[in-house]
C-alpha cells in the first residue's frame, strides 16, 4: 500500500485534478507561490501543486492542483474554498496588470503622489 505524507492513499479515495491555465509561466508560478502558502484547513483533505506545460508548448503555464479527500463532501468543500482563493489571485493579477511593470514609461511622473524629484 502506497503512502503519501504518512497516510495511506486508500484513506483518501476521492480525488480531483484541476488544471488552471495562465497566459505566462511567470503568472502561473506567481499563482502557485501565492496559493500554496495556505495549508488545507482539514486533515481529511490533501492538496499538492505543480506547474505543467500544455501539450502544444514547452513553457509551464498551467497550474496543476491535485486534491485527495476522505469523502466527496470534504473534497467539494475544499475545492469550493480553493476556487474563491483562485478568483482573488486572478482578480489581483488583472487589476494590477503586472505586464505594465516591465513596459517603458511613456507618461511623465509630474504630480505623482509621494514622488520626490532627485536633483543630481
Summarised one tens digit per residue, pLDDT across range 17-51 is: 999 999 889 999 999 999 999 999 899 999 999 99
Q: Where are the domains of the chain?
A: 3-99
Q: How far apart are CA 35 and CA 52, in angstroms?
A: 16
Q: 81: closest CA among 65, 97, 96? A: 65
User: Could you tell me which residues are beta bridge partners of residue 67?
Assistant: 16, 47
| CATH fold group of domain 3-99 | TATA-Binding Protein (3.30.310)
Q: Which residue has the cell 474554498?
A: 81
Q: What is the per-residue pLDDT across 50-76, written as a single tens digit (0 to 9) for each?
A: 999 999 999 999 999 999 999 999 999
Nearest to 66 by CA among 107, 18, 31, 112: 18
pTM score of the predicted model: 0.73
Amino acid at each position: 500500500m502506497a503512502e503519501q505524507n504518512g497516510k495511506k492513499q486508500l484513506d483518501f479515495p476521492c480525488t480531483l485534478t484541476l488544471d488552471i491555465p495562465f497566459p505566462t509561466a511567470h503568472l502561473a508560478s506567481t499563482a502557485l507561490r501565492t496559493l500554496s502558502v495556505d495549508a488545507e484547513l482539514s486533515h481529511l483533505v490533501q492538496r499538492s501543486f505543480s506547474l505543467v506545460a500544455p501539450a502544444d508548448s514547452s513553457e509551464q503555464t498551467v497550474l496543476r492542483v491535485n486534491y485527495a479527500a476522505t469523502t466527496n463532501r470534504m473534497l467539494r468543500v475544499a475545492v469550493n474554498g480553493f476556487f474563491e482563493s483562485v478568483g482573488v489571485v486572478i482578480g489581483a493579477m488583472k487589476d494590477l496588470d503586472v505586464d505594465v511593470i516591465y513596459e517603458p514609461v511613456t507618461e511623465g511622473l509630474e504630480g505623482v503622489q509621494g514622488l520626490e524629484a532627485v536633483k543630481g
